[in-house]
Amino acid sequence: MLHTKGSSSETSSLAPYETPSLFDLQKLFWFRGGSDNHLDQVWPNLFLGDAWAARSKATLQSLSITHILNAAAGPYSINTGARYYKDLQVVYHGVEAFDDPSFDLSVFFYDAANFIQKALCTPGGKVFVHCAMGISRSASLVLAFLMIHENMTLVEALKTVNSHRDICPNPGFLSQLRDLDIKLNEERKGVRESATKEP
């Protein structure tokens, strides 16, 4: 029995990655491994958190945060903005997103991912990404960054972030991340296939 189990896992690791169903992705959140702090480091120099942390300049200063991505910007949400942080010398980027399954967050995936990537490539760069709770909107943008710039699959990105912070993107956002995963996976397959065809 043990031998069979081992050999099946060896086989599955050789099989090409396929994006799981939405239900299977949601099951990954059943196993809570992270924390529910106001903010957590989920990747080197990348922090994910909530509105309390976003408004706590002392906390941000103590962590030497240089860039802030607000995934709940706007007058009806976490209305901080660049002026709020003018005495901190941080680079601010706001995304007016609503934590609603029908909201299209995917239009912000690449902009947000590029902002995070540029920030992390800045000497001493430390990025804080937040929304109201730090579990859905901001978490989705962090996942998109890991998929786009760190070449992670959605499953790898979910496991990476969830091991440091309990996150739970709403079903609509998860579905949009799933679409991104399928697209990136197809692109990677294309690159691999063209590489093998080259003489």
- d(CA 39, CA 59) in angstroms, rounded, equals 10
Residue whose C-alpha is closest to residue 71's, from 102, 103, 29:
103
Q: What gap in Å lies between CA 147 and CA 45, rounded to an integer?
A: 17
- The catalytic residues are 131
Q: What is the DSSP string of 103-159?
A: S--GGGHHHHHHHHHHHHHSTT--EEEE-SSSSSHHHHHHHHHHHHHS---HHHHHH
Pairing status of strand 67-70 against strand 127-130: parallel
